[in-house]
Amino acid sequence: MASSENKETRKPVTNTAAIAGVAAVAASVAKTAYAKGSGKIKIGLLGCGGRANGAVRQCLQADPGVELIAIADLFESKARSTRDRLAKDGKFKGRIKVDDDHLFWGFDCHEKLAKTDADLLVMATTPAFRGRQMLAAVNAGKHIFTEKPVATDPAGCRQVMEASRIAKEKGLAIVCGTQRRHEFSRVELMKRIHDGAIGELVGGQCYWYGGGIWYRATPPEETASELEWQCNNWYHFTWLSGDQICEQHIHNIDVMNWCFNGPPVKFTAVGGRGWRSFNESQIKDAKEACKRYNNGSDADWEKYNGDILDHVFAEFEYANGARCLSYSGHSPGTGRNGEKVVGTKGVSDCRGSYSDHSGKKLWQFQGKNVNGQQQEHIDLIKSIRAGKPLNEGQRIAESTLTAIGARMAAGTGRSFKWEWLLKASKLDLVPKNLKPGPGIFHPIATGGDPLV
């Protein structure tokens, strides 16, 4: 955090060089923070997958003064096809202004995008890269919308915390894709929970357990290297996705942290993998991927099947001693998704109501329901126009790190505290310099791995 201002009386600046320096800083700040008012807000899109295409549309729909002027993705074909689809959509007529020289691709595409004159960058790339991408954006004076999670290891979370600090200093907005925080019903409920409506919180549960997910046996371009294929199939590799607990269950974990006004102080967890290793459909695809990069042989197919777990069951202990259970993963079945928090005077579904311990409903939200994924963009644009930029960077970094902490506890069989995770863990899964070439494969966690 920035240090507090010195309260001593300041002497007037008389040095010419100092005056020039102050002027330069003022000009820089004016450039980095979009002017208040109702003018155009130019946006750039980073990442062109399904969630990215949804997020950029929601940003365009949030305000008629938003224009898309640049697009970047690892793959050229994805950047071009996204531009072309948006340009054909009548809802955005006249607002898709992406020339060919504002289409970028490759592992450094985020750096190129940050050099454009976009005011706001919409980021929905592979989670592993978001810390470095957010730093590049705020250093270039850009507001940010970023999808969640924002990292796959503690090192990446620290990058996001630094980006959040810089954004605060520069007057830049950072809003993240944990849309529950922007749903009116949940906002009103949390005010009441924090005011003591259900008493002191003593425990809770959160869940995201569902069926399997997509597997991409082939990359979007025939010339893609093994690493590019892996990045396109990112969900199945912990260093890229953070595992299911980060990528999906973070929504529920973020709600728990919201209830308790901060992250847990201690982690304990177990986890494992079974179904993914015997899923015939995914094994077939993994063998096809293996053949592509191994001269037609599927002899080494197991590593292409990914290393994420089927399940992680975790216990989060919060500062007041309350313990909450977390249940996440993928396997066949109906699954479960949601949250519950228990207080000394009642219970809440963390959505829009609470009851006493007998089950009698004490309060139910009666206001307008909104789509949180749309509302978060509305709130972001409003904050920029009002000159009061929202900054959710620190918070999303903490929730991401909470999910990472549970995964690490499951993979190592060790319990540890938040302070160690935040300040001492040296886990850094993402190479600094990436280029087309061999993939990066790690073994599946054993439950007894070293704690790093």
> Distance from first CA to last CA of the chain, Å, rounded?
26
Q: What's the confidence (pLDDT) of residue 407?
A: 98
Token look-up 């087309």 returns 436
Residue range 343-364: mean pLDDT, rounded: 98
Closest C-alpha among 116, 101, 117, 158 to residue 134: 158
- Under 8 Å between Cβ of 97 and 69: yes
The answer to whether 338 and 206 are in contact (CB under 8 A) is: yes
**Res 216 pLDDT > 90:** yes
What are the tokens at 274?
A: 């079974």
Is 367 or 9 the better-scoring residue by pLDDT? 367
Mean predicted confidence (pLDDT) in 225-244:
98
Residues 412-435, mean pLDDT to the nearest whole number: 98
CA distance 224 to 230: 10
Predicted confidence (pLDDT) at residue 34 exceeds the cutoff of 60? no
Length of the chain: 452
For residues 285 and 12, which has the higher predicted lDDT (pLDDT)? 285
- If you average pLDDT over residues 359-368, what whole number do you get? 97
> What is the residue whose two structure tokens read 């079945």?
333
pLDDT in tens, 369-389: 999 999 999 999 999 999 999
Ordered domains of the chain (ranges, CATH): 21-180 (3.40.50.720), 183-367+392-423 (3.30.360.10)
Over the stretch 157-188, which tens digit does the pLDDT of each residue have?
999 999 999 999 999 999 999 999 999 999 99
Asked whether 77 and 109 are in contact (CB, 8 A), the reply is no
The pLDDT-based confidence of 358 (bands split at 50, 70, 90) is: very high
141 Rama class: left (phi>0) / alpha (psi -120 to 50) / beta: left
What was the pLDDT predicted at 9?
Answer: 31
3-state secondary structure 2-43: CCCCCCCCCCCCCCHHHHHHHHHHHHHHHHHCCCCCCCCEEE
Of the listed ranges 26-40, 131-145, 204-218, 272-286, the least confidently predicted one is 26-40
38 falls in which pLDDT band (50, 70, 90)?
A: low
Rg for the chain, CA atoms, rounded: 23
Cβ neighbours, 10 Å, residue 317: 17
Mean local confidence (pLDDT), 274-298: 95
Whether the per-residue pLDDT at 309 is higher than 50: the answer is yes
What six digits make up the tokens of 297?
């042989």
- Residue 2's pLDDT band (cuts 50, 70, 90): very low
> How sure is the predictor about 333, in pLDDT bands with cuts at 50, 70 and 90?
confident
* Arithmetic mean of pLDDT over the chain: 92
Nearest to 350 by CA among 211, 254, 429: 254
CA atoms of 97 and 120, how far apart (whole Å): 15
* pLDDT score for 334: 77
Q: What is the residue whose two structure tokens read 């982690």?
A: 267
Let me know if 367 is exposed, middle or buried by CB neighbors in 10 A (0-12, 13-18, 19+). exposed
**What is residue 132's predicted lDDT score, i.e. its pLDDT?**
98
How many CB atoms are closer than 10 A to CB 65? Answer: 14
Is there a contact between 72 and 45 (Cβ–Cβ < 8 Å)?
yes
Q: Which residues of 114-152 are buried (b: 16+ CB within 10 A; e: fewer)?
A: bebebbbbbbbbbbbbbbbbbbbbbebbbbbbbbbbbbb
**At 354, which helix (H) or strand (E)?**
strand 353-355
Which residue type sits at 443?
Answer: P
Cα gap 211→215, rounded to integer Å? 13
- Provide the pLDDT for residue 36: 56
- Mean pLDDT confidence for 318-326: 98
> Which residues 6+ apart lie within 8 Å of 328 measured at CB?
207, 208, 209, 244, 245, 248, 249, 252, 311, 312, 313, 314
Instruction: Give the per-residue pLDDT at 21.
Output: 37
* Predicted pLDDT at 14: 32
Q: Please say if the pLDDT value at position 13 is more than 50.
A: no
- What are the backbone dihedrals phi and psi of residue 43, each rounded to the nearest 5 degrees, phi first? -120, 155
